[in-house]
A and B are shown apart, each in its own frame.
Chain A
Amino acid sequence: QVQLVQSGAEMKKPGASVKVSCKASGYTFISYYMHWVRQAPGQGLEWMGIINPSGGSTNYAQKFQGRVSMTRDTSTTTVYMELSSLRSEDTAVYYCARGDWIHYYMDLWGKGTTVTVSS
């Protein structure tokens, strides 16, 4: 079954880091990019960045550069998104989404991981 399974909800204090995982299954892991998208409560979707699981190259939205890191483990077909120096505005649902690199869109979504940042 083609799916993306994300890790569970996280609660963090301001200034901490969070690492969210996204395990891919049912398809060839290195044949698709992986995007990370977040959605703050009551807000729209926000593109954070992308990782190429084949070589591990990444590209991040300017807003998150210096604070986000996306990595992958090909042995477990899992990608990770780590966000550091958390602040309350980072409270959001974080989605991984498989990227089609021919048509430049997201064709498969994880169910999302809720990250709450609160003191």
Chain B
Amino acid sequence: QTVVTQEPSFSVSPGGTVTLTCGLSSGSVSTSYYPSWYQQTPGQAPRTLIYSTNTRSSGVPDRFSGSILGNKAALTITGAQADDESDYYCMLYMGSDIWVFGGGTKLTVL
């Protein structure tokens, strides 16, 4: 069974840049997996940030960007702000109407 991997935690200084990644336990992530990214703060529903690797959802600031870096999907936050402190989840489309979330990354801004 394929597992989608994410860093469990990451920290960034206010104003800094951080890149979170999303990989596969076996194989490489490509655009064919249509990687998407979601932000979630405690007690709230997830918010969609990025879809189709690098397209920002409506209303998402341009400090959030998505890409493929090497064999992983990546979410980069440029100029991190205090309210970016959240959990971030990637999701991959595995084909045949199956989707899988990564385990999530807890981002601390300090």
Measured between beta carbons, the chain B residues less than 8 angstroms from A87 are none
Known: A110-B45, A111-B45, A112-B45. A103 touches B100 (CB 8 A): no
Q: What is the size category of the interface that chain A forms with chain B?
A: 20 to 34
Measured between beta carbons, the chain B residues less than 8 angstroms from A103 are 34, 36, 51-52, 55
Interface size on B, residues (CB 8 A): 26
Candidates B34, B89, B104; contact of A104 at CB < 8 Å: B34
B42: min CB distance to chain A, Å: 10
Does A27 belong to the interface (CB within 8 Å)? no
Q: Is the interface of A mostly helix, strand, loop or mixed?
A: strand
B31-52 contacts to A (CB < 8 Å): 34, 36, 38, 40, 45-48, 51-52
Q: Are A105 and B46 in contact (CB under 8 A)?
A: no
Measured between beta carbons, the chain A residues less than 8 angstroms from B91 are 45, 47, 105-106
Q: Are B99 and A95 in contact (CB under 8 A)?
A: no
Please list the residues of chain B having a beta carbon within 8 angstroms of any beta carbon in chain A.
Answer: 1, 34, 36, 38, 40, 45-48, 51-52, 55, 57, 87, 89, 91, 93, 96-104
Please list the residues of chain A having a beta carbon within 8 angstroms of any beta carbon in chain B.
Answer: 35, 37, 44-47, 50, 59, 61-62, 95, 97, 100, 103-112
